[in-house]
Amino acid sequence: MKRPTSFDIAALAGVSQATVSRALSNTYPVSEDVRRRVYEAAAKLNYTVDINARKLRSKKINTIAVLVSEDLDSEDSRINPFFLPLIGSILDYAGDKGVDVLVSLQKQSANWGADYGFARRADGIIFLGYRDFETYKQKVDVLREIGEPWVVFGPVMQGEPDLFVGSDNETGAYEAVAHLIRLGRKRIVFLGEASERHSEFFERFKGYQRAHAEAGLSVNPALAIDCFISREEGAAAIQRLLDQGTGFDGVFAVTDLLAIGAIQTLQKRGLNVPKDVSVMGFDDLWVCTCINPELSTVRQDTTTAARVLVDTLAKLIDGEKVNMTRIPTRLVIRESCGG
Amino acid sequence: MKRPTSFDIAALAGVSQATVSRALSNTYPVSEDVRRRVYEAAAKLNYTVDINARKLRSKKINTIAVLVSEDLDSEDSRINPFFLPLIGSILDYAGDKGVDVLVSLQKQSANWGADYGFARRADGIIFLGYRDFETYKQKVDVLREIGEPWVVFGPVMQGEPDLFVGSDNETGAYEAVAHLIRLGRKRIVFLGEASERHSEFFERFKGYQRAHAEAGLSVNPALAIDCFISREEGAAAIQRLLDQGTGFDGVFAVTDLLAIGAIQTLQKRGLNVPKDVSVMGFDDLWVCTCINPELSTVRQDTTTAARVLVDTLAKLIDGEKVNMTRIPTRLVIRESCGG
DNA sequence: CTGAAAGCGCTTACAG
DNA sequence: CTGAAAGCGCTTACAG
């Protein structure tokens, strides 16, 4: 039983093949009577348009690729948990728009050739993942050369002054740290990488600085702990600090994962959170309300982010100009910071 | 600047277009000299094969669709967290095999037409998500009719005696409950749906029963609490039990999410886990080690599951026979069950 | 090992 | 609103 083609439908409906195509694609006016006959014939033969022929002929692919970079830090999950609801929302929103989504896990080891292949599987690419600037730059340069639209969530991309989709990291961090200061915390650890290689974290560091400056507090360099984003690194960093005897009464972590690692170490060392140390995270993973004490954090709005990413990419695909979009964050106060 | 075609490469390399195709697809022998010239020309023009033309002409799609059913229970995440590492592993493994993966979130509200469209976007479909049997049956019947291969992770599908890919739920549950009994627990709650509508949970109930039977213990029907899979439902169920005054000293939950909800309620009511009540989950989400006490659980092997799903689907696509596959689970003992 | 040619199943000007 | 016809960019018998 061969799969039916539009010619089979045409024969059954008593119209030309071209008319079948027009009726089924809803692009040209077709008489109501013909339309019904075509749909009935299609239903009877279980016919669906061959998507590959349509894509080839129309030159519209109607598919976006989501390239998620593998997260080698974490123990078992290969994708950083923050990106999971974001991917879910992208699937959701793209689904509503009738756009297919190809998802690919980008291994650190993989050469760019693999991604490059996406250039004709999708109209554009969304990059997700905590990669440093250099990694993105390489990939993005190739895409620029072949004229393939792309967008990254998170970092500010050099050489693309108008293109930014990400949270308002500076304000989010500022509000979080200002809250800790308001609670009376004076020696607040900054847990994360404060370098321009990861601009989203660097912006959070700037918010941390501004909150201190506005409160007339100086930033103690010994409290800025350079580490990446996993729970293990958060735990290890706090352990080091404790071992050194560096005193602190607050922790602002650039990810919830780091904050959770910090809390686990603090508790293991007999310290009370939030009594002895207030802890604040960033992201608002669903895990925040599973742990004890529940984690205060800066919520990133993944639903809005997904919409903005998909819409921005759609504009780029259509050759339109895009605007830099900073998505507002929201401070979520729970048990871990006391007060 | 128009995108180059195989004719452009042919002209540049001084061969026929057919030879370009053969050199680039690695399907027919081509002389080394010609091969090099073709690859050089392709590289120079940034050429990649048009995947849509290839798919149309060759009739090989080389793509699988992962259809994840939306999880309406949980507060924010749209996909049950258990499926996340499984999806990650599918992306990983399929990527290694050179197969594209189309991921789609299936809304409960959506009509089947949406999925049906996948029939020609992908060679086959992997279903993921906790849906009851009736929901799957409907979809699967259509696929059977149009001859599209599919596979579901979890439930035993009626009418497909040879097709099963899932964890060995009965044994996993048996081992978990037997462990609780060995610790001296005698009144163990079964938290989850013990009905054939969800065969994976029903199998876990059978394991719960067998562990009791082997220990010479009778199963108390008042301790089998019918509830679905979210944290909220787990919390509410335990609350009801406590309010009723039904005594218990152990909880076996069919998902970690339920177990976490149970622990939160127990602690809120002033009970100590594991001193007063031992709690055991199922899945081994990464969250298990974030909470306090860390959750004992039955680990489902998502890496193996992903391989088996992709390989089984590949066999079905090739028209081969498949075997029923029960993937072994592993009991992971942590703080929450004491002992 | 290579070339000339047919054709995969659609969409879309071009006419009417 | 509808039909006849061209053609999207490949793969793959068919010959040599």
pLDDT per residue as tens, chain B (339 positions): 578 899 999 999 999 999 999 999 888 888 889 999 999 998 888 888 888 899 999 888 888 999 888 776 555 567 888 998 899 899 889 988 888 888 888 776 555 444 555 656 788 899 998 887 777 787 788 777 777 889 999 988 878 878 899 999 999 999 999 999 999 999 999 999 988 889 999 999 999 999 999 999 999 999 999 998 889 999 999 999 999 998 999 999 999 999 999 999 999 999 999 999 999 999 999 999 999 999 999 999 999 999 999 999 999 988 888 989 999 999 999 999 986
Per the CATH hierarchy, to which homologous superfamily does domain A169-300+332-337 belong?
Response regulator (3.40.50.2300)
A3: left (phi over 0), alpha (psi -120 to 50) or beta: beta
User: Which chain B residue is nearest to residue A54, measuring alpha carbons?
Assistant: B52
Protein-contacted bases of chain C (C-beta within 7 A):
1-5, 7-13
**Among the four given CATH numbers 1.10.260.40, 1.10.3720.10, 1.10.10.10, 3.30.200.20, the one describing domain B6-58:** 1.10.260.40
Closest CA to A326 of A149, A137, A171: A171
Nearest C-alpha neighbor of B339 from the set B293, B298, B299: B293
pLDDT of residue B112: 47
Beta bridge partners of B63: B100
* Orientation angle between helical segments A51-58 and B51-58, nearest 10 degrees: 140
Note the pLDDT of residue B74. 56
pLDDT at residue A156, as a whole number: 86
Q: Which two tokens stand for residue B213?
A: 């039977």
Residue type at A85 in one-letter notation: P
Total-model pTM? 0.89
Task: State the alpha helices, DSSP H only, in chain B.
Answer: 6-13, 17-25, 32-44, 51-58, 83-97, 113-116, 133-146, 169-182, 199-214, 231-244, 256-268, 302-317
Whether omega for the bond prior to residue A4 falls within 30 degrees of 0, making it cis, is: no
Are the CB atoms for B133 and B197 separated by under 8 Å? yes
**Mean pLDDT calculated for residue range A184-202:** 93
Q: Do residue A146 and residue B75 have CB atoms under 8 angstroms apart?
A: no
Which chain D positions come under 7 Å from a protein C-beta? 1-5, 7-13
One-letter amino acid of A7 = F
Phi, psi dihedral angles at B140 (to 5 degrees): -65, -30
CB of B335 within 8 Å of any CB in chain A? no
Output the DSSP codes for B79-108. Answer: S-TTHHHHHHHHHHHHHHHT-EEEEEEE-S
Inter-chain residue contact B95 with A107, CB threshold 8 Å: yes
Distance B4 CA to C2 C1' (A): 22
pLDDT for residue A191 is more than 90 = yes
Distance CA B5, CA B42 (A): 9
For residue A293, whether the previous peptide bond is cis, meaning omega lies within 30 degrees of 0, is yes
Same fold, A6-58 and A63-164+302-327: no
pLDDT score for B77: 65
Res A300: pLDDT: 97
Q: What is the pLDDT of residue A112?
A: 47
Q: How many CB atoms neighbour CB A75 within 10 A?
A: 9
In order of A93, A229, A270, the CA distances from B90 in angstroms are 22, 24, 41
Q: Which of B131, B124, B189, B178 is nearest to B157 (CA)?
A: B131
Mean pLDDT of chain A: 89
Is residue B326 a contact partner of residue B166, using CB atoms and an 8 Å limit?
Answer: yes
Look at A1 and A278; give whichever has higher pLDDT: A278
Q: A129 near A69, Cβ under 8 Å?
A: yes
B17 C-beta less than 7 Å away from strand D: yes
Residue B274: asked if its preceding bond is cis (omega within 30°), the reply is yes
Residue A322 parent element (H or E): none
Task: State pLDDT tens for residues B56-86.
Answer: 998 888 889 998 887 765 555 678 889 988 9
Calpha distance B135→B140 (Å, rounded): 9
Arithmetic mean of pLDDT, A331-336: 97
pLDDT of B76: 58
Q: What's the CATH fold of domain B169-299+332-337? A: Rossmann fold (3.40.50)
**How many residues would you count in chain B?**
339
| CA max distance for chain B | 86
- Average the pLDDT over A155-178 and give the result: 92
pLDDT of residue B71: 73
Determine contact: B304 vs chain A, CB below 8 A: no
CB contact at 8 A, B281 and B288: yes
Structure tokens at B263: 């622990």
Distance CA B163, CA B150 (A): 10
Query: What is the spatial distance between Cα B221 and Cα A246, in angstroms, rounded to a whole number?
Result: 56
Please say if the pLDDT value at position A313 is more than 50. yes
B186–chain A Cβ distance below 8 A for any pair: no
Would you tell me how many other CB atoms lie within 10 Å of the CB of residue A33?
A: 8
| Confidence at residue A97, expressed as pLDDT on a 0 to 100 scale | 86
DSSP state of A207: H
CATH architecture of B63-164+302-325: 3-Layer(aba) Sandwich (3.40)
- Minimum distance, in Å, between the CA of residue A292 and any CA atom of chain B: 7
Question: Cβ of A45 under 8 Å from any chain B Cβ?
Answer: no
**pLDDT value of position A187:** 96
Angle between helices A302-317 and A83-96 (to 10 degrees): 50
Asked whether residue A60's C-beta has any atom of DNA/RNA strand C within 7 A, the reply is: yes
Assess contact for B151 and B316: CB atoms under 8 A.
Answer: yes
pLDDT at residue B161, rounded to an integer? 78
Query: Best interface-test mutation with B: which of A3, A5, A25, A51 has the largest number of B CBs within 10 A?
Result: A51
Question: What are the residue boundaries of the structural domains of chain A, listed by start?
Answer: 6-58, 63-164+302-327, 169-300+332-337
> Given CA atoms A68, A74, A75, A77 in this order, what sign does their dihedral have?
negative
Q: State the average pLDDT over residues A177-198.
A: 94
C-alpha distance from B37 to closest chain A C-alpha (Å) = 19
Contact B230, B73 (CB under 8 A): yes
**What confidence score (pLDDT) does residue B302 get?**
94
Tell me chain B's radius of gyration from C-alpha atoms. Answer: 25
Output the CATH code of domain A63-164+302-327.
3.40.50.2300
Q: How far apart, in whole angstroms, are the C-alpha atoms of residue B141 and residue B296?
A: 39
Residues 51-110 of B with CB under 7 A from strand D: 53-54, 56-58, 60
The per-residue pLDDT for range A100-153, each reduced to its tens digit, is: 888 888 776 555 444 555 656 788 899 998 887 777 787 788 777 777 889 999
Predicted confidence at residue A137, as pLDDT, reads 81
* Cβ pair A163, A325 in contact under 8 A: no
Among candidate residues B256, B273, B265, B128, the one with its CA nearest the CA of residue B192: B256
CA atoms of B130 and B201, how far apart (whole Å)? 10
Q: Which of A146, A290, A300 to mutate to test the interface with B (most CBs of B within 10 A)?
A: A290
Return the DSSP state at A328.
Answer: P
User: What are φ and ψ of residue B21, in 5° steps?
Assistant: -60, -45
In which residue are the tokens 């048009």 written?
A: B50
Measured CA to CA, the distance from residue B121 to residue A95 in angstroms comes to 14
Q: What whole-number distance in Å separates Cα of residue A94 and Cα of residue A102?
A: 11
Give the pLDDT of residue B318: 84
Rounded CA gap, B330 and B207, in Å?
14
- Provide φ and ψ at B251, rounded to 5°: -135, 125
Q: Which contiguous run of DSSP H or E holds residue B216?
A: none
- Cα angle at B219 between B217 and B223, to 5 degrees? 130
pLDDT in tens, A22-66: 999 888 888 889 999 999 998 888 888 898 899 999 888 888 999
B242 interfaces chain A, CB cutoff of 8 Å: no
- Cβ-based contacts of B88 with chain A (< 8 Å): 77-79, 105
Looking at chain A, how many residues does it have? Answer: 339
> Residue A142: what residue type?
V
